[in-house]
Structure 1
Amino acid sequence: MNASQFISACPEVAQPIQSNWIPITSLDEMEQREYDVLIVGSGAGGGAALWRLCQRWGADKRIGLIEAGDTLLSTHARNISTLSDEFRFSSYLRAIKQPVAGSAPDFSGAMQVIALGGRTLFWTAIAPRPYAGALADWPVPMNELNYYYGVAERFMNVRDYFSFQYPMWEALLNRLQVNGFPQAKYAPRALDFEPLNYNGSINSNVYFSSVQFLAEGLNSHPYDLAVQARATRILTCGGRACGVEVAKPDKRIYRLKAKNIILATGTLQTPRLLLHSAIPGPSIGHFLWNHSYLKATVQMRPDGFAREISFAAFPYALIIPQTEGHPYQIQIYPSGLPAEKKIELNAFGTVEPRYVNRVTLDPYKRDEYGVPIIKVDFAYSDRDWAVVAQMSQTLLHAAAAWGSDIQPPGICMLPPGADSHESGTCRMGTDPYTSATNPYGQIHHVPGLFVADNSVLPSTGGANPTLSTIALAIRTADYIAGQNCT
């Protein structure tokens, strides 16, 4: 008997072809639709808002996301084997980073990563909550902040303790704690070491990046994503936000319609877009702050302490957190090769948010899309310089706690903007004259227009702003979903 008589041919099933690692929608298609929310920018804030809306909303809501850059990496660079080496990682990052046109000379250290995921593709993943005193003037109740910090930390897998320990880190931490720094602790980091979850997912993303928000969003709710889509103007109808003008690299202009718009293009580019769009607000672009940034390398002595420990690096790092009277935070991690036994100290000082530190439009220079480039006016105050002096002494004391020496060139200061923590130019508040957005990130007196990036932060003290931006972006998304802003 011929078995083929009982076996039928498998039917062919038509499958859509996905030509990229994330589904891409053309601007031609997006121009034909109206979005309940259109998000501009895919970094920490934009990704977090997207994920939360995908989680909260049903299929009847339409969500769009546009990104000025292209699909550079599908995960954090450190999760890629060829970039796991420090030299290769640093070399690639230097090639990818671009200076911000118009930021020099006052903010000459400012750099940007124009790509899907933005600077979260390269960050250290150190994600502390700010010092409580830095949050005292925020227009958000502390119980709400704690809730949204918790949501962000759970999604990002932020933790300061891992199941494996290294004697090196225990020794370094102990020496600090018994020699003048009792507040020193392991740095909370957004790292996931679960190799396989029982829900069927495989983890290949140890370091967190905004790409994880984009991925989880796709698992919950479909959305449209366009890359190489540069927002050039916010459109308003009757005083309410109603769309975004977008340009492709070939300079073709599209007008995307949206009931709500979330801007997440960063502290320097978001006010640029708002000012160019003639969005009203006397504080837009003002109150720019960053972190003053000192760096030093410590060489562990060849005797005693250095002999006791193996300089295994990953995943631990240490921080000396901000405390009362010490308005700065110090991050500590290995530098160079393990055999060199060097430790790098990075000190981030609190900078006053001052009205005079601002982002404006250059009246004479425009980019290739016809949008004025920015002009940054920035200077440290006397109080800021006092914090720098205090940080310098603390770095010397930290080295002394280990019985070690700071290596040449000694303690050095990086130029303003080099910390990549710039914030504040659309800060939230209740007074339209001293803030650009309300406590939920909505631009004062412009319904439907929200901001969800570092620019909304009034201050984070000396802490890295990424966790705070993500927590507030999730809160903004909840507000939009809960208030039925569409």
Structure 2
Amino acid sequence: MTGRYPDEVDVAIVGSGPTGSAYARILSEDSPGLTIAMFEVGPTVSQPAGSHVKNIVDDDSRSDAQRRSEGSAPGEATLNSPRAVAAGGRRARPGTFLLPDGDFAASGDGLPLAAMSSNVGGMGAHWTAACPRPGASERIGFLDATGELDELIGQADRLLGVTTDAFDGSPLGDLLRERLAAAVDEGRAPAARVQKMPLAVHRREDGRLVWSGSDVVLGDETRNNPNFTLFDETLAVRVLVDDGVAVGVEVHDRRTGETHEVHARIVVVAADGLRTPQLLWASGIRPTALGRYLNDQSQVVFAARITGIEDLPVPEGQKVAGTLGESSGVSWVPFTDDLPFHGQIMQLDASPVPLADDDPVVPGSIVGLGLFCAKELSADDRLEFSDDATDSYGLPAIRVHYALTDGDRETIERAKAQIMTLARAVGEPLDDAPFQLPLGASLHYQGTTRMGETDDGTSVVGPNSETWEVDGLYLAGNNVIPTATACNPTLTSVALAVKGARDIVHRLSDR
């Protein structure tokens, strides 16, 4: 040991979000004799470590956990709703922090709301927990061709604890999906029809919701593994490479200010879509595709009220006293290539727009509609890393080059028309027109270390998530996804992490 760190481990994992945790879980299940060290730049803000902050019952404790996740400048003003995000200027949501002012756009439209979290569990401590399966062109063709993709996604469901029944007691959910289906289901394959949103959420016997974070992905299998150790408040500053082979990581102890080298047989970097390529650049690992093919999901949002329900009886078990719980029901309008949007339809506990004082709200009747749009991929949409300037962690400063194409703008306009169709199908639109959130608001940054079937210069990693350029270096996260997706990407990125972890197990068992 050097200080609180080991001198050597079998596998070093940078990042404690859902994908880094998936690596640790699969390694603990399939090869428990391997020593594993996981490094996280942020503090532990919840218990069990990595658990979702929504599971913190006390409001003040939850707010404190969110503030401690907000990087090197916690406590700055944040915004907590889509409408506030759209109207309130350039502010992050609770638990996240923005790229420094000016760094979000070096050219084009930029990503003004590009944000990150620094805490054990990463963004998995703050996410919406939506886990839709990719469809049509969102799917990864070369993994589909081998028959692997669905089995891997099934494993991701298992690790994340995905369910579809957590909100079965929500009032009017079935009616809402019936009305949405009447508007869009004709001609769709069964998997692409309106349905309940798969969520990494379960309901306890006492009725409380439990939202999955990295704690669920790690599971008891990892927590009880004596060969696994999580080191928080530890910044990885460099991947150590010797003659084209990853041999460990250099880490900076943010508690003491000391720097250490931890040697490893395998290195996994799962530091998010912005900081994973940043760490590779800082390590001198700079393949052509690094930071390129950046893509995010433009969001169009609106609200409506379910009408014609005043005389409907509330089924037994669906009576609600007072307001509904947060996210009281989530329905899903899947992506198709003809309508390249992913729809996340949420029954809200309050109206996002003011209603008349004498206008009573039936529980479950206020609906927030959101459509996420797939982006046209381009190598010109990229991250640029400085050789001179540094960020608050001392790593190369990030600049964003990102522009919507004419095709992207057409898709957004189509989404606006489609969301009005959905709102009218639901009942009464609650505003004059939908609005588009500022770019970067989805927090779904993908493609910056994308996967490829062959090493043709357009990808950073191969089908097992190992980098083409450095042997024994694996990457994880939404940044590995090579397709343009509209659906929430976490399920897919965890599935890819399962495949990478299995490759490590096979690889180290052969040595």
Relative to the length of structure 2, the TM-score reads 0.81
> Which letter maps to 2:299?
Y
Cα deviation, 1:162-190, whole Å, max 9, x if unaligned, reads: 59444410111111122344521111111
SS in 2 for 1:442: coil
- Equivalent pair of 1:289/1:423 in contact (CA under 8 Å): yes
Which residue is equivalent to 1:461? 485
Q: Does 1:248 align with 2:222?
A: no
- Equivalent pair of 1:251/1:369 in contact (CA under 8 Å): no
Query: How many angstroms does 1:95 deviate by?
Result: 4.4
Which residue is equivalent to 1:266? 272
Cα deviation, 1:5-49, whole Å, max 9, x if unaligned, reads: xxxxxxxxxxxxxxxxxxxxx96232x421111000000110111
Deviates more, 1:68-77 or 1:263-272: 68-77
- Equivalent pair of 2:22/2:159 in contact (CA under 8 Å): no
Q: 1:68 aligns with which of 11, 17, 41?
A: 41
Which residue is equivalent to 1:318? 331
Query: How many angstroms does 1:136 deviate by?
Result: 4.7
Which residue is equivalent to 1:294? 300
Percent identity between matched residues is: 27
Q: Does 1:99 align with 2:93?
A: no
SS in 2 for 1:365: strand
CA distance, structure 2, for counterparts of residue 482 and residue 427 of structure 1 = 23
Structure 2: give runs of 5+ residues left out of the alignment.
67-77, 81-91, 187-192, 352-359
Which residue is equivalent to 1:119? 123
SS in 2 for 1:398: helix
Matches within 5 A, 1:425-436: 425-429=448-452, 430-436=454-460
CA distance, structure 2, for counterparts of residue 343 and residue 158 of structure 1 = 23
> Which letter maps to 2:4?
E
CA distance, structure 2, for counterparts of residue 284 and residue 296 of structure 1 = 36
CA distance, structure 1, for counterparts of residue 204 and residue 146 of structure 2 = 31
> Which letter maps to 1:145?
L
CA distance, structure 2, for counterparts of residue 191 and residue 362 of structure 1 = 40
Which residue is equivalent to 2:371? 347
Q: 2:238 aligns with which of 225, 233, 239?
A: 233
- Equivalent pair of 2:138/2:485 in contact (CA under 8 Å): yes
- Equivalent pair of 2:465/2:480 in contact (CA under 8 Å): yes
- Equivalent pair of 1:232/1:246 in contact (CA under 8 Å): yes
In structure 2, the CA distance between the partners of 1:411 and 1:163, relative to structure 1 (3 Å rule), is closer
CA distance, structure 2, for counterparts of residue 480 and residue 281 of structure 1 = 22
Q: Does 1:387 align with 2:363?
A: no
> Which letter maps to 1:99?
L
CA distance, structure 2, for counterparts of residue 165 and residue 152 of structure 1 = 26
Which residue is equivalent to 2:224? 219
Which residue is equivalent to 2:22? 48
SS in 2 for 1:477: helix
- Equivalent pair of 1:55/1:220 in contact (CA under 8 Å): no
- Equivalent pair of 1:134/1:460 in contact (CA under 8 Å): yes
SS in 1 for 2:3: helix
SS in 2 for 1:483: helix
Which residue is equivalent to 1:39? 13
Query: How many angstroms does 1:327 deviate by?
Result: 0.8
CA distance, structure 2, for counterparts of residue 204 and residue 254 of structure 1 = 43
Deviates more, 1:415-424 or 1:84-93: 84-93
Which residue is equivalent to 2:71? none
CA distance, structure 1, for counterparts of residue 167 and residue 138 of structure 2 = 31
> Which letter maps to 1:282?
T
Matches within 5 A, 1:142-181: 143-161=147-165, 164-181=168-185
CA distance, structure 2, for counterparts of residue 252 and residue 157 of structure 1 = 38
In structure 2, the CA distance between the partners of 1:369 and 1:84, relative to structure 1 (3 Å rule), is closer
> Which letter maps to 2:156?
A
In structure 2, the CA distance between the partners of 1:175 and 1:68, relative to structure 1 (3 Å rule), is same
Q: Does 1:402 align with 2:426?
A: yes
Cα deviation, 1:37-89, whole Å, max 9, x if unaligned, reads: 10000001101111111111133x21110000000112212222224999999
Which residue is equivalent to 1:207? 211
SS in 2 for 1:64: strand
SS in 2 for 1:143: coil
> Which letter maps to 2:39?
I
Query: How many angstroms does 1:97 deviate by?
Result: 1.6
- Equivalent pair of 2:236/2:249 in contact (CA under 8 Å): yes
In structure 2, the CA distance between the partners of 1:87 and 1:168, relative to structure 1 (3 Å rule), is farther
Structure 1: give runs of 5+ residues left out of the alignment.
1-25, 197-202
SS in 2 for 1:475: helix
Which residue is equivalent to 2:69? none
Which residue is equivalent to 1:18? none
- Equivalent pair of 2:166/2:201 in contact (CA under 8 Å): no
Q: 2:199 aligns with which of 189, 195, 199?
A: 189
Q: 1:424 aligns with which of 437, 441, 447?
A: 447
Query: How many angstroms does 1:110 deviate by?
Result: 1.0
Q: 1:327 aligns with which of 304, 315, 340?
A: 340
SS in 1 for 2:25: helix
SS in 1 for 2:241: strand
Specify the structure having the higher radius of gyration (Cα): 1
CA distance, structure 1, for counterparts of residue 391 and residue 272 of structure 2 = 17
Instruction: Name the Cα RMSD after superposition.
Output: 2.8
